[in-house]
Amino acid sequence: MKTVIEARNLYKSYDIGGKVKIGVLRDTIIDTFKYPYRLLFKKFNKDKITYKALNGISFKVNQGEVLGLIGKNGAGKSTLLKVLSKITEPSGGEVRLRGRVSSLIEVGTGFHLELTGRENIYLNGAILGMRKKEIELKFDQIVEFSGIKNYLDVPVKRYSSGMYVRLAFAVAAHLDTDILLVDEVLSVGDADFQQKSLGKVKDIAESGRTIIFVSHNMGVISQLCTRCIVLSKGKIIFDGKTNEAIANYLSKEYEYFGSRIVKKDNKKIMQIRKVTISNSNKTPSGVLNISEPIKINIVFDVNKVVSGSVIYANINSVEGVLILKSTDSLNIPKTRYKGKYRSVLELPPYLINSGKYFLSLGCEVPQKNNIKVEEFDHLDAFQFECVDKSKAIDEYGSGIIAPIYQLNTQKLK
């Protein structure tokens, strides 16, 4: 099978901290004379730290593969895509790409805020390598897919973030490309657009084109990707089948906790500060008995008066399947005033079956033209495990949910 992407020993380093000097002529002359002295006595800036975003990465991708990149924030996923798309140069190593490449890495990259949606379709299409005739042939498809027909001649600076990303994705998705690089764009927009985008990526994959896909949504990763690479601290720690990669990622990156606390950040409008999970009111634990109620306590701060905000708690399986989604949207006040709040979620016994699960938390804060999501500890709070100490489920059956139901059987004749 033809290899279309090959990365060999890739490095990408950034210097963090240290003194920054304005490059005037006087300083340049002084530094020139000081350099031999500093070299002899090794008196360099000790405050400067070199951060390796990529640390010796090597892999190959064959034509038609849909490769997933997963890992915690800061693992190097977006940096790798930027190197592959030639947005940034690697500090070491090399990349070989065979075929036409398009990327959707940062929402609306290449869009001009003062231009209309119509004008930006032509501009962004040209940046991505489309010829004018090609854009004209696909113009109606792009507009229909984006769903912004009524706002086509409005400057994009007036668009909400959802409209912005829909248009950007629509342009990139309709480009006849050999390789498509996608970074976490299917999480933006409403549910209908997310499903439509997911379907479009599937169509692109089935057409035999190559896709590298970055997402924190393990459900989407498991649906789309035939293979996954797990990144941690700039290194590849796993490369293989998608289900094995997801299990590897979740088991290695997240420990079992019964309680998590986050340092206060007054810059956030709302912030989840503490989460505990336990059986009823007992001591917090990462291992829970399914025969008892499971209680999740969420303590959060409101640092500024806010209207229409929502707290949510989601439980996913280790494969990324959404098991339960809960919010306080039905009983929230119109306005939350500054202060400390508590949300409680209590699950009845035998609702969730024995197994390992993933809890993610956050708060949605309405802002001008969009909703900002303040996530707890990036995206994921912690893993927890449910065990069946009573062995009741072993007797009656198993499934994702575990209420003890029995068939009522009667003799008819």
Q: What is the pLDDT, as a whole number, of residue 140?
A: 92
Q: For 62-115, write each residue's pLDDT tens digit.
A: 988 999 999 887 888 989 988 998 888 999 999 999 988 877 776 556 678 889
Q: For 266-315, write each residue's pLDDT tens digit.
A: 888 888 888 899 987 678 888 888 889 999 999 999 998 988 888 888 88
Q: What is the pLDDT, as a whole number, of residue 290?
A: 87
Burial of residue 175 (CB within 10 Å: 0-12, 13-18, 19+) is: buried
Q: What is the pLDDT, as a whole number, of residue 73?
A: 76
Share of the chain above pLDDT 70, in %: 79
Q: Which of 40-49, 134-143, 280-289, 301-310 comes out lowest in average pLDDT?
A: 40-49
- pTM (predicted TM-score): 0.65
If you write DSSP's letter for every residue of 284-316 in order, what string do you get? --SEEETTS-EEEEEEEEE-S-EES-EEEEEEE
Q: Count CA atoms closer than 13 A to 39's CA, side-chain side.
A: 6
Most confident of 33-42, 51-60, 260-269: 51-60
- Is the pLDDT at 141 greater than 60? The verdict is yes
Q: What is the pLDDT, as a whole number, of residue 71?
A: 86
Q: Which domains does the chain have, with CATH numbers?
A: 1-99+178-183+198-253 (3.40.50.300), 259-396 (2.70.50.60)
Name the helix (H) or strand (E) containing 251.
Answer: helix 242-253
- Model confidence at 378, pLDDT cuts 50, 70, 90, reads very low
